[in-house]
Structure 1
């Protein structure tokens, strides 16, 4: 079964840094689910860690790539 994420992808380019923290976290969560089949909660990522990366202007894709590399995750 395929999940249609087109409206989200149209509304938010995952290679850009969203202006609000909530939008950025949402984009990270979608990217984690699309890439590794886990959510922010599954990964145990806390708000402080997310905020640190958001304030350094990491894009959602950059954060997920960094996280996957750090923990040696296999993409689906």
Structure 2
């Protein structure tokens, strides 16, 4: 009977170490995947932030040019009327 208990104890210990190894491996894989996606996410945010700033700058510059072209006659008459230019 003691031999049977020792056998089951050794078997359970072996199963415990296998499960512990599997969970350690899965934890390592998940940490690497998480780190990979964090790096990709940060790089994506940097690229998007840079392109959004550039897009806002160029679009506001374009709107300014369009407004100046649209109201060019009024601006010219205002400047000539007031002798500012």
Indicate the TM-score class for this superposition, using the shorter chain for normalisation.
under 0.3
Q: Which structure has greater helix proportion? A: 2
TM-score by length of 2: 0.25
- When Rg is computed on C-alpha atoms for both structures, the one with the higher figure is 2
